Amino acid sequence: MAMNRRGFLKLLAGAGAAGAASVAKPSRASEEFEGYPDRYGVLCDISRCIGCRSCEQACNQVNNLGAPAESFDNDKVFETKRRTSSTAHTVVNKYQKENRPPAFVKTQCMHCDEPACFSACLAKAFDKTPEGAVIWNEHKCIGCRYCMQACPFYIPAYEYDNAFTPRVTKCTMCYPRIKDGGVPACVETCPMDALIFGKRSELITIARKRIINDSEYVDHIYGEHEVGGTSWMYISKQPFEELGFNMHLGTTALPKLTYGYLATIPVMHITLPIILAGFYVISKGRKVSGKDETKGVQK
């Protein structure tokens, strides 16, 4: 292609403009997913919970989970530590140390900002919605239960007794309700205001204020940074490690732990065939030239 001086200058000007435009954008692709900006969450103030289990009851009704084995006002359930199951998407456990008031801890899906279940699923059956809820899609799941193993909080449960359409079950943060402007059923029903629903960023401000204004609080918002941050967060006046919380989860979002390995796979797919083909050519060449020095029995 012939090009005169004027054309060349035009081209340079164009390239310069394109360069200037690209400066306005971030100079490097960001690897950090900082979460949907307006995502919701729930702040659970453990010091306010009295263990009435009305949240469990509300959850049971909203999700049509059927009559419970023990009625919701039976305190005997506190004798053992319970976990979430296919018939209870949230459970309250009691922790009592001598000469201390009992503490009640509500457990449910933490709705991680970067959920391990979401990344573990090979059929993309999980969604992290912009509202913050982590939800599961029945029509994609093949039932491998990798999501259950990946969850650091032991939350997803399985309908093992359902032979044909078993489901992975967990708290949805009442996604259908919050999409319509409502709040999760457990939050709505809590008589002690132990649960607050709102924008996650605002909840962190509320939690900080409470911790600053009352020195009895432990100076930690559980879920603010754990496994990269969760939508559901806790503050407490008793040490978290004594209330069944895992304090060793770290602050790295769990899916990130697999990215380094996954990135090596395409590299391997491209380089390994070339290396193997090279070995093939060498060993074939050796045979053709009659210099096969492998010691074994000839074919």
Partner 1 sequence: MSEHTMHTTPREWIRENIFLGKTVGEYIRSLITPFNIIAGAILAVGIPVILYRFLFGLGASTNLSDTNPWGMWLAFDMFFGVAVATGGFIMVVGVYIFGRDDYKSMVRPAILTGFLGYFFAIAGLVIDLGRPWFLPKPFIYFGTASVLFLVAEHLALYLTIQFFEFLPAAVEWLGWRKVRHHLHKIHIALIILGSVLVMGHQSALGAMFLIMPSRLHPLWYSTYIPYLFFASCIAGGLAMLIVESMISHKVFGHQVEASDHEKIHRMTMGLGKAAGYTLFAYFCLKILSMVHGFTWQHLWSGWGAWLGVEVIGFVVLPLWMFTRAVRTDSIKMVRAASIITVLGILVNRFNVVVIGLNWNAPEVYIPHWMEVMGSLTLVTLGVLAFRWVVNRMPVLYRLPEFPDE
- Of the candidate residues 123, 182, 201, 239, the single one contacting partner 1 (CB under 8 A): 123
Query: What is the Cα–Cα distance from 142 to 107, expressed in whole angstroms?
Result: 26
**Which positions from 226 through 255 interact with partner 1, judged by CB under 8 A?**
246, 248-250, 254-255
Q: Helix/strand/coil (H, E, C) string of the chain?
A: CCCCHHHHHHHHHHHHHHHHHHHHCCCCCCCCCCCCCCCEEEEEEHHHCCCCCHHHHHHHHHCCCCCCCCCCCCHHHHHCCCCCECCECCEEEEECCCCCCCEEEEECCCCECCCHHHHHCCCCCEEECCCCCEEECCCCCCCCCHHHHHCCCCCCEECCCCCCCCCEECCCCCHHHHHCCCCCHHHHHCCCCCEEEEEHHHHHHHHHHHHHHCCCCCCCCECCCHHHCECEEEECCCCHHHHCCCCCCCCCCCCHHHHHHHHHHHHHHHHHHHHHHHHHHHHHHHHHCCCCCCCCCCC
Token readout for 65 is 């989970």
Closest separation between CB of residue 242 and partner 1, Å? 16
C-beta of 197 vs 232, nearer to partner 1: 232
125 near partner 1 (CB under 8 A)? yes
Closest separation between CB of residue 149 and partner 1, Å? 6
- Of the candidate residues 22, 85, 201, 205, the single one contacting partner 1 (CB under 8 A): 85
Closest separation between CB of residue 148 and partner 1, Å? 4
Q: Are 207 and 235 in contact (CB under 8 A)?
A: yes
286 near partner 1 (CB under 8 A)? yes
Only one of the segments 46-54, 59-67, 208-216, 289-297 lies at the binding site for partner 1 (rule: CB under 8 A); that segment is 289-297
- Of the candidate residues 10, 81, 179, 209, the single one contacting partner 1 (CB under 8 A): 81
- Of the candidate residues 50, 154, 176, 216, the single one contacting partner 1 (CB under 8 A): 154
- Of the candidate residues 11, 12, 17, 142, the single one contacting partner 1 (CB under 8 A): 142
> Per this entry, what is the length of the chain?
299
65 near partner 1 (CB under 8 A)? no
- Of the candidate residues 48, 95, 158, 206, the single one contacting partner 1 (CB under 8 A): 158
84 near partner 1 (CB under 8 A)? yes
277 near partner 1 (CB under 8 A)? yes
- Of the candidate residues 83, 97, 100, 209, the single one contacting partner 1 (CB under 8 A): 83
By CB under 8 A, name the binding residues for partner 1: 81, 83-86, 116, 118-125, 140-146, 148-150, 152, 154, 156-158, 160-166, 246, 248-250, 254-255, 257-258, 260-262, 265, 268-269, 272-273, 276-277, 279-280, 283-284, 286-287, 292, 294-299
